[in-house]
Amino acid sequence: MLWPMAVRTIISGRVQGVGFRAFTRDAARSRDLRGWVRNRDDGTVEAHVEGPDREIESLLTELGRGPTFGSVSSVETEDVDDTGATGFEIRR
């Protein structure tokens, strides 16, 4: 059974300037997940993701590996309320 969920995740490491937001967007869209991703002033990347629990878990595993030129040191996740997002976008 797939359970709907929503999470906020903060990814740390070398995650800015390496295509991490596009990597996240593409990985989320390939799983039909909804939400957004953005860079934060502290050098981390933040994402809000909504969709089936198994697809989110799969995405989080992929985010832990990161894109070719990135280097992920941690992926912190917390459950949040579903906002009814449509699509998955990069926010500036």
pLDDT digits (tens, 9 = 90+) for 15-62: 999 999 999 999 999 999 999 999 999 999 999 999 999 999 999 999
What is the rounded distance in angstroms from the CA atom of residue 66 to the CA atom of residue 42?
A: 18
Phi-psi region at 28: left, alpha or beta (left = phi > 0; alpha = psi -120 to 50): alpha
Per-residue pLDDT at 3: 79
- Residue 49, beta-bridge partner list: 7, 35
Task: Just list the catalytic residues.
Answer: 21, 39
This prediction's pTM: 0.95
Domains and CATH numbers, the chain: 7-82 (3.30.70.100)
Q: What are phi and psi of 3, to 5 degrees?
A: -105, 130
pLDDT score at 1: 57
